[in-house]
Chains A and B, each alone.
Chain A
Amino acid sequence: MSPNLRALVLAVGLVASGCAGASLDSLDTKLRDLSKQNTPATQAQLASLAAEAQADAKASPDPKNRVAFYRVAAVAAWQAGPAGESLVLPITDEGAAACDALPAKDASAPRDCSLIRLAAPMATQDALTRKLMIIQGQAGASGKLPSAQLEPVQQLFDGLETQFDKVSGLRGGVFALDLPEDFKARTDRERLIIYCNGVKAWSLYGDVEGAPAATFNAMAQRKKQMTDRLEADGVATDCRTIPATQSFDAT
């Protein structure tokens, strides 16, 4: 075969395959490094990274590579905190569609698809928890919150309960896939985190001036349902064992 023909054939092969590995590796490395730092500057960079990975995903001709790029985009948008909030849902929607388009759907890329699907409720719970931490910091010397916080705190509880439902709903799919055991355990840990934040929101409701006992008790019943779901899956519900996130924007 002549050198020209060989070059053409190789070029066709390269173009047809799309050499995505190097780009993915670079984005993953950035994601890992920026996520460790957790500063406003790095969160802005994470948001840019999410947008870059989303663009790469759209441009990728290989379905599995596309999903991998969406996974990076979804996690980056999640970790970008407030800077990435507007990106999370578009990215995870597109990512979920990309997973649905794989030959065996999520089973073709189990970790990447599971992370894409978990990213939206986790990013939402993070946003709710950040608000919760801010409200908690507003308590006076008596430990009480003004009554104006009744509704916001209740909404936080509602929101966290919803995210718990969503992640718990995803759990069945995660456990059915060929995923590493630590991924499955990690999913339960995320549920426990949302649960504990939900308990926290409910408990904080009890600290609001004039909190009606009936509402408090009704919320306690909903909290118990979450407890039961966790314990039914073998997860201990001791929230004391989970260290709080040292977040720069908690106060």
Chain B
Amino acid sequence: MDPTLIIFGIRALIRLAREGISAFDQFERDRPALFPDGVIADFRQIDFIRNTFFPDHADLLTGSGAFTKYWSGTAPTAVPGAMEALYIGAVKLFAEDQAKKKQVSPRRGVEIGGAVMIKQWGDGKGPVGPIGRMVLTMADIGLEFVGANPSLFGVGGNGEKLLGALATNLSDMIPDDGDAMGPKSQLADRFVGIFLRAGLQTLNDQPGLVVREDHLQQLIRNTLPPIIAALPSGLAEQSRWRDVADALLGPAASAAISTVAANPAAFLGATFDPNRAIGALTQAMLKQAATTGLKEEFTEAGFIGLYQAALGVAAARPELFLGRPGTSADQLASDLFAKVAGTLKTAAPPFNSDLGTALAVDVLDTVKQDGPRFFEKEGPWENTVGTMALQVIDGLKVGLTDPASGGIKSVLSQQQLVELAHTFLAQAAKTPGMVAGESTELQAIVGGVAKAMAEDKDLLLAPDDWLAIASVAAEEAAANPQRLFKINATTPAGAIGSEVIKDLLSVAAVELAKGGRKGGGVLFGATLREAITVALRSAAGNAKAAVDNQAALKGLAETLSDLVRTHPEQYGSKEWLSLYQSLIGRVLHGGPIGPLSEAEIRKILEGGPVA
């Protein structure tokens, strides 16, 4: 990655953190604050009299003045009624004085008594509000990006389109507590920044993307406002929501924009708007992550992987999210994540983690590719995604938990385990009915193969060999239901597929004991793989004969192994396989073949008919 982008990302994060705190601080600073009254002394009649007569009308109190008899020096005289006469005179004088002073507002100064709460700023004079803050944040991030990545902001550049799409939706993103700078408003500011940063980086990383602004507008409208509005009310839950969104919203925005850009046709005049499904999925993923957490079983990568796969389904088949009467896209998306997370959380280790979500991703990819035709018609397909993954996991559990062998974990790496699971899932997806209803056929097939794999204690087959065998087993079992890995009262004898594999592994183990390669044996690796493949394909078409002649089939392998080992100068791997392939039908129909003459062997190898 371009180091400039890393530095930019760090700066943007710091700025966002600062912006959020700074906006909150600003809100707290600018809240109405107490402006108390000063202490006021009792203002008596005599005070009003003195204040009115002095100094302008003091002449009325002395000499021939009208109120002389009521006044002496600095105070009223003791004449009865003096105070009343002076007060009436003062009221009259005061009214006359006020009338002369037209500029004086009689109410000015007295209209707001007592302590009051007063804002920091006059109307329209304070710092910017919630929308302004978002615009400033966006501009700030955009400007810094311009310096590092000028091509994003050329005429018609993707960066401009993203900014335009965000700007168009600004009013939708302002929550109802915007004026109060409440937690939703702060969250909105933060999320817009995260979304923009992730979006710009995605567009920069994929300069070839052709993205339409109206698609981005729709995407943002359906994504950001719902997750801002969904902020829980409790502080602890809010904190969790923010943490999860901080971790996941950026990658989610990147995935969503990539999906929109990669599927332009899906967004043109579609009956079902995939954007709505994307919005619902984004919110559902965050909600589920907030519930499950990102520290234990499922990590950020697991959630984003699942989200990306679900986005693929939404883009390719929006009707799956939007076309079910009575079920909203939000509910469906929420059920999808909840069921998958809930199901996988209880799955056998190591599938109770991101490894499990990788299987669910496989299922979703299959849904995207083939549609949910392998599920029950009209049923809640979203509930079955986890169940389908779990059938594979439960099947594999047989091999994973074998205490004697150490299980198939000693054969396959975790990634190969996922590939193995994918092999079965891919086959199941092509086979309607395999997982429909209460069917556990998929689980039986996986279990049968896993059980056989667990028998490979000597590691006679490489992981790739096992993956190839699994593919054949799945294909044959799917094409021939209730045969190779039938689960019924006769199990394990009924699971002839497993038995055939185990018998061949047993023969190969004996070969190994007799010296293996050094002793001239050939039944290992590719030869063993092909032998198992031939056996499975043959048994699939005639399971009853395979069950009846299981010992004879094993005997055939033993006979051929002895033959090749004792005549290394004449026979090798190719001959072993050719003879096995030619004679297996005879064994299935006629039982043990008995000793083989050299002439008979030569005839078979030369392509002659098998007696």
Contact = CB atoms under 8 A, between A and B. Distances in A.
Interface of A: 1, 3, 5-6, 9-10, 12-14, 16-22, 24-25, 28, 31-32, 35-36, 62, 64-65, 68, 71-72, 75, 78-79, 109-112, 115, 122, 125-126, 129-130, 132-133, 136, 143, 178-183, 185-186, 188-194, 196-197, 199-200, 202-203, 205-207, 211, 213, 216-217, 220-221, 223-224, 230-231, 234-245, 247
Contact of B39 (A3, A125, A179, A216): A125
A231 B104 contact: yes
B29 A109 contact: yes
B50 interface: yes
A237 B74 CA distance: 21
Contacts of A72: 33
Contacts of A196: 40-41, 43
A21 B40 contact: no
A230 B103 CA distance: 11
B47 interface: yes
Contact of A6 (B13, B29, B111): B13
21 contacts: A13-B16, A25-B28, A25-B31, A64-B26, A65-B25, A68-B28, A129-B41, A133-B39, A133-B42, A179-B122, A186-B112, A186-B118, A190-B37, A199-B51, A203-B50, A206-B75, A224-B56, A234-B104, A236-B108, A240-B43, A243-B113
A102 to B, nearest CB: 12
A19 B21 CA distance: 6
Given A65-B25, A185-B111, A242 B16 contact: no
A245 B110 contact: no
Interface string B103-122: 11111111111011111111
A192 B109 contact: yes
B73 A213 contact: yes
Interface in B287-338: none
Contacts of B123: 180
Most buried by A among B13, B29, B75, B246: B29
B111 A126 contact: no
Most buried by B among A13, A188, A217, A223: A13
A194 B41 CA distance: 10
Q: Closest 9 CB pairs between A and B?
A: A13-B17, A178-B125, A206-B74, A21-B28, A220-B54, A17-B21, A192-B109, A203-B47, A244-B42
Nearest to B18: A17
Contacts, number: 254
Contacts of B26: 64
Contact of B40 (A230, A234, A238, A244): A244
Contacts of A230: 109
B34 interface: yes
A14 B532 CA distance: 63
Contacts of B107: 236
B42 A202 contact: no
B346 interface: no
Contacts of B46: 143, 203, 207
Nearest to A239: B43
Contact of A217 (B37, B40, B55): B55
Most buried by B among A12, A223, A242: A242
A244 B98 CA distance: 23
Interface residues of B, number: 69
A121 B41 CA distance: 16
Interface of B: 6, 9-10, 13-18, 21-22, 24-29, 31, 33-44, 46-48, 50-51, 54-56, 58, 73-75, 94, 98, 101, 103-113, 115-123, 125-126, 246-247
Nearest to A123: B38
A20 B106 CA distance: 42
B29 A183 contact: no
Most buried by A among B47, B58, B103: B47
Contact of A64 (B25, B33, B74): B25
Nearest to B295: A3
B41 A200 contact: yes
Most buried by A among B29, B41, B116, B118: B41
B58 A220 contact: yes
Contacts of B106: 236, 238
A20 B109 contact: no
A212 B235 CA distance: 69
Nearest to A68: B29
B408 to A, nearest CB: 32
A185 B109 CA distance: 6
A224 B55 CA distance: 7
B121 A207 contact: no
A130 to B, nearest CB: 6
Contacts of A65: 25, 29
B14 A12 contact: yes
Contacts of A220: 50, 54-55, 58
Nearest to A111: B120
Contact of A35 (B16, B34, B105, B119): B34
Given A111-B33, A223-B54, 5 more contacts: A9-B14, A122-B38, A180-B118, A220-B54, A244-B41
A244 B18 contact: no
A213 B55 CA distance: 12
Nearest to A122: B38
Contacts of B74: 205-207, 211, 213, 216
Contacts of B73: 206, 211, 213, 216
B104 A236 contact: yes
Most buried by A among B10, B17, B36, B106: B36
Contacts of A21: 21, 24-25, 27-29
B109 A188 contact: yes
Contacts of B117: 32
Most buried by B among A125, A211, A220: A220
A17 B46 CA distance: 58
Contacts of A125: 38-39
B28 A245 contact: no
A10 B36 contact: no
Most buried by A among B16, B24, B120: B120
A211 B36 CA distance: 35
A183 B54 CA distance: 32
A206 B42 contact: no
Contact of A247 (B13, B39, B50, B51): B39
A19 B110 contact: no
Given A13-B17, A239-B47, A126 B38 contact: yes
Contacts of B51: 199, 203, 223, 237, 239
B602 to A, nearest CB: 67
